[in-house]
Amino acid sequence: MENRSESTRPIRLADLPLLVRLAVGLSLFSTWVIFEEGIVDRTGLWELMPGYVKARLCPWDLAALGIVLVPVLLLRSRRRAVLA
């Protein structure tokens, strides 16, 4: 029987195609949206968040989108620079 620990490596997010990385980023962003609607809107925390607009795109959404998608998109370019 083949020893799998020697022949397999973990798959890194940077090694995956752009479409897959975007799908991962969008699923992480949807986690923010679920948290926002389930916790922030229902408990009234939005009143304590400056710049937050209930049920519309606001700076908090853009920040979450940037925090999730920018690193996902930059992973490949950083890896290419290291390999070159």
Rg of the chain in Å (alpha carbons): 18
Task: Quote the pTM value.
Answer: 0.68
The answer, yes or no, to whether residue 81 has pLDDT greater than 60, is no
* pLDDT tens figures, 34-54: 999 999 989 999 899 999 988
Residue 5 lies in a domain: no
Which range marks the domain in which residue 34 is found? 16-83
Residue 10 lies in a domain: no
Residue 30 lies in a domain: yes
Residue 33 lies in a domain: yes
* CA angle 17–20–24, rounded 5-degree value: 140
Give every CB contact of residue 73 below 8 A, 6+ residues apart in sequence: 18, 21, 22, 25
Q: How many domains does the chain have?
A: 1
Residue 56 lies in a domain: yes
Q: What is the DSSP letter of 16?
A: S
Helix axes 59-83, 18-35, angle to 10 degrees: 150
Residue 8 lies in a domain: no
* pLDDT tens figures, 49-69: 999 988 888 999 999 989 988
Rounded to the nearest integer, the mean pLDDT of the chain is: 82
Distance from C-alpha of 69 to C-alpha of 46, rounded to nearest angstrom: 23
* Residue with more model confidence, 60 or 13: 60
Residue 49 lies in a domain: yes
Looking at residue 3, what is its pLDDT?
A: 58
Residue 58 lies in a domain: yes
